[in-house]
């Protein structure tokens, strides 16, 4: 009797599963990441996860390639007026929105005006449209963009200005619109979104340039990095976009898994920040200036000695497990041509570092192991702070304390809540040394700005560094239209700040991603930058037969 | 008469406590150093004007409250400021209208975020609580009845062990075990499952709940076992239990009719308090299994100084805890008439 019921159950299951089976299973790429988009409204979003989704669902005037170059996307051609102020883009014919309507120059003009006229959009307005004077569409399906100033980097300004459908956005409150339907024109369309859980995208097989070969892509949020790696190992995921470096060796030894290592798509920088704000540059109390930095850090000799006493290779080996390269300035090697690879780093040489300090008069007069100021007033004991959410900073701090201890410099180390650190940092300058970092833009201008005098009261400058010659070059590169000449200026600027030892950049970290080789094939891994979750890969991969 | 007045007074106190929490909630987060307009964003592309615009949009450009110039670290305003134009007044006014505000981080209404998260948390922690109470009580009763035997010893030792297990560690171990047995590792549902028939959707959620629920149950049942055991042993040593035995009642009857009801009292307190905190979620379990619950939402909001979410979540937790305590208070006098309402 019992076995009969079991038999019936099995039969029923078989019948049910047969009914459920479709002729062809849709091919679904399952990607795991540690975050989740903050908002699907491009104007309001801040997090990189949101931008990943925008890249897939929307198109913009230019595509950013994995080698750092730009190619026209929505337009067939572009012409620039002789004075460099007026750009005319000829929009491709017949591009369709996901809801079937046609994308025209009017949509593009509407979008650019929307970004330009909405100061509440922190990036798209604040950083990418300040040079926009007017944007119009004509009846030849052309967009005419007039600038207030001729700038050299319009491509990098337009690349994140995702083009939105006018017929949807003109009727909504642009500050409250959650944009959950997300009608775009890109190679993928929004299928389902549950915040903090997953984003499910369906392929737009009618895309005008890069229709995907897979049917769906799912991004699932993992709050736990171990689970993320485990999910890839057990085949619950096909690809992961981030992992701790400790996982790399394990994954490399796992069957059917390929680990890809390379420069990150949007390279970040880790920096060791010296507060060198001169009293005359201290922001006013109204601006929030406190300026309690140790006077010794304003002396280039001290910073230079610390640079010579920093064993960057050891930091890379112990903290990144080798997955990084020694850093020079805030412009990382991931920025391609903009990175000045001709600079020579300060060699690791403790004797030389000690000599520099001896010569500059910083001697250990009371023989307690820590040097004093030349006038004997105070010891070279610096406060060292880092954001408490950083995984690598505590070990970096420990190693720095050891290394700098060799040259008679003592540290008072403390992790600080990141938000509290911001209020200590800038523009308060209420610290001596910090370990922190920056995100970057494809154009070097953003990170070069951090070194300017102008940035001191705004909170962008972390060091209080001020050099009129540098400021002059910064202004020049902002308007230099000739790419080669601009590159020379940008390289010169890196030389200046490297010579002045404004920061110690311990390393440029490499991106680590991994995918399963038994599920999809064709991932782009031979480019200077690694980004498996970018359209570049997701539109070309195919299921393994 | 006396009793209903006492109940009213208790409800009054609960209400008063909630009011206090409402006020405390507002200032608690603003005393933290830092600036919501810059928290979690570190990017040279974010210009000073853009940050200022964010402040204006969140209403953070207004003084926190007027007439507290002496306490200026949190930007309190002078007496010249119109009290109706302070952040505090706007907060209270919105709350009175049932408006919890909009998250600084996600730009979504806080009420939406909290209701999604609350449901997830109640589902997970609720199931874990009920299981751990049932299993814990059963073990406790057994241990007490078989006091000073091998059964008792085993159950006490194992309860102590599971009670003191690090939640995080146990969760990771179970996660690795589960992933090798085909159980999902993250989230509360498989992406795309929403198109399945309802029954299969529930089965899918059940599969996702399995590991976190087991973790929760194991970690919390020890507490219930130990309390139940010691409480029941106290009762079992009373004279009237001896009398009951002498009357020839069966073990089951003695437990059911005479001992359990009295022994339940201390347990009710613990259950009530724990049920109240159910709403707060279990951050560690949520983090390991990427369960989108309230605990995680609070954790994230603290890092981003997302005041509206924090205020809303803390209010919700406070109300739940206060309410659970109120229920416990009221249940007491029912369970034990000696707990008289003075």
Q: What is the CATH number of the domain that holds A232?
A: 3.40.190.10
End-to-end CA distance of chain B: 12
Residue of B nearest to A389 (CA): B303
Testing the interface with B: which of A22, A27, A42, A46 to mutate, by most B Cβ within 10 A?
A46
- B260 contact A CB<8A: no
Whether A261 is in a domain gets the answer no
Q: ipTM beyond 0.90?
A: no
pLDDT on residue B130: 92
Query: Are A127 and A227 in the same domain?
Result: no
Query: Are A314 and A382 in the same domain?
Result: yes
The answer for A 23-42 residues in CB contact with B (under 8 A) is: 28, 30, 32, 38-39, 41
pLDDT on residue B84: 81
Q: How far is A419 from chain B (nearest CA, A)?
A: 5
pLDDT on residue B333: 75
Length of chain B: 342
Q: What is the pLDDT of residues A116-137, one digit of tens each?
A: 999 999 888 888 999 999 999 9
Report phi then psi at A217, rounded to 5.
-130, 130
Question: What residue ranges do the domains of chain B occupy?
Answer: 2-96, 110-335
Residue of A nearest to B57 (CA): A120
pLDDT on residue A9: 46
Q: How far is the C-alpha of A380 from the C-alpha of B321, rounded, in Å?
A: 52
Q: How many CA atoms lie within 13 A of A135 on its CB side?
A: 20
Which residue in the set A175, A197, A457 is minimally distant from B188, CB to CB?
A197
Whether A253 is in a domain gets the answer no
The answer to whether the CB of A442 falls within 8 A of the CB of A266 is yes
Q: How far is the C-alpha of B293 from the C-alpha of B287, rounded, in Å?
A: 9
Long-range contacts formed by B85-93: CB under 8 A, 24+ apart: B86/B62, B87/B26, B87/B30, B87/B59, B87/B60, B87/B62, B87/B63, B88/B26, B88/B64, B89/B65, B90/B59, B90/B62, B91/B26, B91/B311, B92/B22, B92/B26
Which residue in the set B107, B179, B191 is minimally distant from A220, CB to CB?
B191
Task: Count structural domains, chain A.
Answer: 3
Cross-chain residue pair A218–B290, CB shorter than 8 Å: no
Query: Are A43 and A128 in the same domain?
Result: no
Q: What is this structure's pTM?
A: 0.89
Query: Are A420 and A470 in the same domain?
Result: yes
Query: In which residue ranges of chain A is pLDDT below 70?
Result: 1-23
Which residue in the set B172, B180, B287 is minimally distant from A234, CB to CB?
B180
Cross-chain residue pair A438–B43, CB shorter than 8 Å: yes
Q: What is the pLDDT of residues B279-335, one digit of tens each?
A: 776 888 998 999 999 988 888 888 788 899 999 999 998 998 898 888 888 887 777
- B31 contact A CB<8A: no
Whether A497 is in a domain gets the answer yes
Query: Are A44 and A65 in the same domain?
Result: no
Q: Find the farthest-apart pair of alpha carbons in chain A and give their distance in angstroms, rounded.
A: 99
Question: Percentage of chain B surpassing pLDDT 90?
Answer: 41
A334 alpha carbon, distance to own chain's centre: 10
Please give the residue range of the domain that contains residue A78.
59-169
A426 alpha carbon, distance to own chain's centre: 20
pLDDT on residue B32: 74
Which residue in the set B32, B44, B191 is minimally distant from A200, CB to CB?
B191
- B184 contact A CB<8A: yes
The answer for B 58-117 residues in CB contact with A (under 8 A) is: 102, 105-108, 113, 116
Whether A249 is in a domain gets the answer no
Q: How far is A488 from chain B (nearest CA, A)?
A: 22
Q: How far is A127 from chain B (nearest CA, A)?
A: 6
Beta bridge partners, A264, equal: A530
Testing the interface with B: which of A156, A196, A285 to mutate, by most B Cβ within 10 A?
A196
pLDDT on residue A305: 97
Query: Are A140 and A272 in the same domain?
Result: no
Cross-chain residue pair B186–A231, CB shorter than 8 Å: yes
- B44 contact A CB<8A: yes
Testing the interface with A: which of B175, B176, B179, B186 to mutate, by most A Cβ within 10 A?
B186
How many C-beta atoms lie closer than 10 Å to residue A296's C-beta?
A: 25
- A222 contact B CB<8A: yes
Chain B residues with CB under 8 Å of A195 CB are 106, 108, 113, 116, 292
Chain A residues with CB under 8 Å of B304 CB are 419
User: Where is the domain boundary, A118, A140, A169?
Assistant: A169
- A418 contact B CB<8A: yes
Task: Please give the structure tokens belonging to residue A274.
Answer: 């010296």
Q: How far is the C-alpha of A397 from the C-alpha of A270, rounded, in Å?
A: 13
Cross-chain residue pair A126–B34, CB shorter than 8 Å: no
Q: How far is the C-alpha of B76 from the C-alpha of B59, rounded, in Å?
A: 14
End-to-end CA distance of chain A: 44
pLDDT on residue B337: 75
Chain B residues with CB under 8 Å of A389 CB are 303
pLDDT on residue A300: 96
Q: How far is B307 from chain A (nearest CA, A)?
A: 13
Which residue in the set B50, B102, B290 is minimally distant from A224, CB to CB?
B290
How many C-beta atoms lie closer than 10 Å to residue B12's C-beta?
A: 10
pLDDT over 80 at B336, yes or no? no
Q: How far is B180 from chain A (nearest CA, A)?
A: 7
Task: Please give the structure tokens belonging to residue A28.
Answer: 């679904």
- A234 contact B CB<8A: yes
Query: Are A282 and A393 in the same domain?
Result: yes
Task: Tell me what the pLDDT averaged over chain B comes to.
Answer: 86
Whether A472 is in a domain gets the answer yes
The answer to whether the CB of B295 falls within 8 A of the CB of B283 is yes
Which residue in the set B172, B186, B303 is minimally distant from A221, CB to CB?
B186
Given CA atoms A490, A491, A496, A498 in this order, what sign does their dihedral have? positive
Cross-chain residue pair A123–B46, CB shorter than 8 Å: yes
Query: Are A350 and A381 in the same domain?
Result: yes
pLDDT on residue A25: 82
Res. B342 pLDDT band, cuts 50 70 90 = very low
Nearest to B312 by CA among B91, B121, B40, B107: B91
Whether A4 is in a domain gets the answer no
For tokens 């399952």, what's the residue? A30
Higher pLDDT, residue B69 or B3: B3
Residues A110, A112, A114, A119: what is their CA dihedral angle, to the nearest 10 degrees?
-170
Q: How far is B46 from chain A (nearest CA, A)?
A: 6
Chain B residues with CB under 8 Å of A127 CB are 45-47, 50
pLDDT on residue A418: 83
- B301 contact A CB<8A: no
Q: How far is the C-alpha of A384 from the C-alpha of A405, rounded, in Å?
A: 13
Q: What is the pLDDT of residues B150-180, one digit of tens each?
A: 999 999 999 999 999 999 999 999 999 999 8
E strand spans, A471-523: 503-504, 507-509, 511-516, 520-521
Higher pLDDT, residue B58 or A71: A71
- B179 contact A CB<8A: yes
Query: Are A286 and A370 in the same domain?
Result: yes
Rounded-to-5 percentages of helix, strand, coil across chain B: 70, 0, 30
Q: How far is B51 from chain A (nearest CA, A)?
A: 7
CATH fourth-level superfamily of B110-335:
MetI-like (1.10.3720.10)
Whichever domain contains A498, its CATH number is: 3.10.105.10
Give A483-541 as a DSSP string.
Answer: HHHHHHHHHHHHHHHHHTT-EE--EEEPEEEEEETTTEE----SSSEE-TTSHHHHTT-
Residues B1, B2, B5, B7: what is their CA dihedral angle, to the nearest 10 degrees?
-110
Cross-chain residue pair A222–B53, CB shorter than 8 Å: no
């Amino acid at each position: 009797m019992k076995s009969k019921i079991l038999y019936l159950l099995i039969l029923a299951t078989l019948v049910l599963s047969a009914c459920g089976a479709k002729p062809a299973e849709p091919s679904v790429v399952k990607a795991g990441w540690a975050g989740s988009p903050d908002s699907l409204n491009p104007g309001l979003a801040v997090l990189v996860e949101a931008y990943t989704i925008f890249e897939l669902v929307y198109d913009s005037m230019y595509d950013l390639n994995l080698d750092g170059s730009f190619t026209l996307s929505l337009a067939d051609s572009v012409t620039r007026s002789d004075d460099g102020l007026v750009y005319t883009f000829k929009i491709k014919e017949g591009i369709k929105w996901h809801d079937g309507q046609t994308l025209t120059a009017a949509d593009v003009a509407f979008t650019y005006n929307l970004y330009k006229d909405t100061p509440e959009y922190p990036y798209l307005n604040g950083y990418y449209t300040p040079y926009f004077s007017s944007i119009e569409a004509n009846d030849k399906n052309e967009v005419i963009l007039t600038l207030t100033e001729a700038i050299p980097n319009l491509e990098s300004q337009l690349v994140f200005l995702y083009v939105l459908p006018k017929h949807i956005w003109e009727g909504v409150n642009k500050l409250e619109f959650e944009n959950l339907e997300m009608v775009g024109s890109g190679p993928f369309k929004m299928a389902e979104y549950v915040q903090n859980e997953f984003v499910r995208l369906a392929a737009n097989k009618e895309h005008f340039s890069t229709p995907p070969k897979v049917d769906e892509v799912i991004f699932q949020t993992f709050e736990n990095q171990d689970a993320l790696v485990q999910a890839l190992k057990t085949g619950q995921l096909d690809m992961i976009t981030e992992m701790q470096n400790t996982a790399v060796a394990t994954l490399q030894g796992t069957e059917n898994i390929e680990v890809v290592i390379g420069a990150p798509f949007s390279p970040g920088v880790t920096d060791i920040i010296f507060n060198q704000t001169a009293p005359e540059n201290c922001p006013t109390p109204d601006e929030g200036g406190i300026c309690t930095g140790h006077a010794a850090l304003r002396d280039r000799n001290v910073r230079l000695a610390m640079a010579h006493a920093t064993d960057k290779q050891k930091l890379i080996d112990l903290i990144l497990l080798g997955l990084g390269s020694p850093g020079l300035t805030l412009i990382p090697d991931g920025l391609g041509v903009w990175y000045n690879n001709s600079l020579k780093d300060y060699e690791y040489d403790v004797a030389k570092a000690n000599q520099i300090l001896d010569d500059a008069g910083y001697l250990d007069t009371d023989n307690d192991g820590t040097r004093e100021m030349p006038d004997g007033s105070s010891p070279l004991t610096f406060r060292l702070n880092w954001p408490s959410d950083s995984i690598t900073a505590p070990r970096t701090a420990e190693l720095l304390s050891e290394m700098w201890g060799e040259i008679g410099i003592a540290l008072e180390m403390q992790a600080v809540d990141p938000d509290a650190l911001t209020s200590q940092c800038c523009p308060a300058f209420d610290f001596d040394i910090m370990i922190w970092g920056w995100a970057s833009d494809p154009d070097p201008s953003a990170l070069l700005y951090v070194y300017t005098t102008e940035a001191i009261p705004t909170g962008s400058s972390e060091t209080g560094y001020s050099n009129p010659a540098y400021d002059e070059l910064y202004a020049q590169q902002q308007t230099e239209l000739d790419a080669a000449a601009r590159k020379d200026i940008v390289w010169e600027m890196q030389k200046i700040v490297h010579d002045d030892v404004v920061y110690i950049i311990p390393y440029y970290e490499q991106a680590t991603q991994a995918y399963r080789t038994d599920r999809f094939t064709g991932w782009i891994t031979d480019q200077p930058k690694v980004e498996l979750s970018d359209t570049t890969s997701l539109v070309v991969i195919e299921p393994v037969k | 008469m006396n009793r209903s007045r006492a109940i009213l007074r208790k409800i009054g106190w609960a209400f008063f406590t909630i009011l206090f929490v409402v006020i405390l909630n507002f200032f608690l987060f603003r005393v933290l150093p830092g600036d919501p307009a810059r928290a979690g964003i570190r990017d040279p592309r974010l210009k000073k004007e853009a940050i200022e615009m964010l402040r204006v949009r969140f209403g953070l450009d207004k003084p926190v409250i007027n007439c507290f110039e002496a306490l200026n670290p949190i930007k309190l305003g002078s007496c010249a400021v119109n009290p109706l134009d302070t952040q505090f007044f706007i907060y209270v006014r919105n709350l009175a209208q049932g408006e919890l505000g909009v998250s600084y981080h996600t730009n979504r209404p806080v009420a939406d975020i909290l209701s999604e998260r609350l449901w997830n948390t109640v589902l997970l922690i609720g199931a874990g609580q009920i299981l751990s109470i049932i299993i814990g009580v059963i073990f406790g009763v057994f241990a007490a009845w078989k006091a000073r035997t091998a059964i008792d010893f085993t159950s006490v030792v194992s309860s102590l062990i599971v009670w003191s297990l690090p939640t995080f560690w146990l969760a990771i171990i179970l996660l690795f075990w589960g992933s090798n047995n085909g159980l999902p590792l993250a989230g509360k549902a498989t992406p795309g499952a929403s198109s399945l028939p309802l029954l299969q959707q529930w089965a899918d959620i059940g599969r996702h709940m399995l590991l976190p629920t087991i973790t929760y149950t194991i970690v919390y049942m020890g507490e219930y076992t130990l309390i139940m055991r010691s409480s029941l042993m106290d009762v079992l040593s009373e004279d009237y239990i001896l009398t009951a035995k002498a009357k020839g009642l069966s073990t089951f009857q003695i437990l059911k009719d005479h001992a359990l009801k009295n022994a339940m009292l201390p347990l009710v307190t613990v259950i009530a308090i724990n049920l109240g905190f159910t709403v707060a979620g279990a951050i560690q379990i949520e983090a390991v299994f990427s369960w989108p619950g309230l605990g995680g939402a609070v954790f994230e909001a603290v890092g981003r100084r997302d005041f509206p979410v924090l205020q809303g979540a803390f209010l919700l937790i406070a109300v739940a805890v206060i309410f659970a305590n109120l229920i416990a208070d009221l249940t007491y006098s029912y369970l034990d008439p000696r707990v008289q309402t003075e």
